[in-house]
Amino acid sequence: MMRKLYTIVIIALSLTSCEKVLFEDDLESTNPRDNFEYLWNECNEKYAYFELKNIDWELVKSEYSAKIYDGMTQDSLFNVLGAMLTELRDDHTNLISNFNISTFGVNYLGQDNFDWRIIEDHYLSQDYYISGPFRHNFIDNKEIGYIRFPSFPGTVDATNLNFVLNRYKDTKGLILDLRENGGGAVSDIFDILNRFVEQKTLVNYSRIKTGTGHNDFSDAKPVYVSPYNGIRYKNKVIVLVDRGTYSAGSFFSLSTKALPNMILIGDTTGGGLGLPNGGQLPNGWTYRFSITQALTLDKKPDYENGVPPDIQVLFDWSDLTKDEILERAITELQ
């Protein structure tokens, strides 16, 4: 399974290198319109989610091309091109210069639903453990294990996972908190999930943009999780998510939909299920956007707009003595 994902990444990287060759040989230019046309065309031919997001890219071209003029400053050009990319409503989409980076900010589409200080003050003792990227301890009279996982840093390994899962092996269940987890290394997803399955399990499909048409994709390839040959956890696992759960966090959340012992609680995730790739504009700025789609088990790309929770709960900011999402997870495990 991982080999298939790595193949997609390698293809994406090869596309980037090809663009750089073209740029070096033929396309070097500081002309604002040259750079506008280049970026618009690259998105038009390679971006993965025009249809799902109902984006009229021709209309976007008409609107933003009217803002391009000879002699405009670098800052003005960057603002126009960056704003055009935000029309894709995708945090895997960025324009990068040596003076600014454009972003969309999908986490602002929903309320904030996490405060680590509340968890420290009201749920965890101050002697909680830090095992690699995990912060964890017993809660609810030591009947539940709480594990905070704030990003996918690529440092999940057998040592830290064995310690964590062995520590909570006799609990009623685990709570894995992925709120405000902005993503990271794809490998971490499978290193964690393979500790919670007892048989090879299909969790989703993936496809990559292969042609210039908006719907030109490869065939959908199955993505599996296989059980780890070692310590695994067999009881119920609650995964906490919110709009700040993005990219690898959404991939993880999507996978839970196929695993009967895992329940998703909180708010809809931020999406980010397309792997990003990019290149270089004629003026030297770089860009990236999503060129793949992660599909549900019925081969739909809908969760790019966010993976919905199984149980929706929002944070009540008028009471800072408790975490409603965490409380609902505790109730689910009792």
What integer pLDDT is reported at residue 27 of this predicted model?
A: 77
What integer pLDDT is reported at residue 17 of this predicted model?
A: 33
Can you tell me which residue has the tokens 């390994």? 157
Taking the model in full, what pTM does it have? 0.90
* Ramachandran region, residue 76 (left: φ > 0; alpha: ψ -120 to 50; beta: rest): alpha
- pLDDT greater than 70 at residue 22: no
> What share of the chain has pLDDT > 70, as a percent?
92
Given pLDDT bands bounded at 50, 70 and 90, which one contains residue 150?
Answer: very high
Q: For residue 259, what are its two tokens?
A: 């695993």
CA distances from 276 to 42, 54, 214, 290 (A): 13, 19, 16, 4
pLDDT tens-digit profile of 176-224? 999 999 999 999 999 999 999 999 999 999 999 999 999 999 999 999 9
- Judge whether 242 and 259 are in contact, CB under 8 Å: no
CA distances from 45 to 48, 138, 217, 269 (A): 9, 50, 11, 27
Measured CA to CA, the distance from residue 81 to residue 71 in angstroms comes to: 15
pLDDT tens-digit profile of 298-328? 999 999 999 999 999 999 999 999 999 999 9
Tell me if residue 302 falls in helix, strand or coil. helix
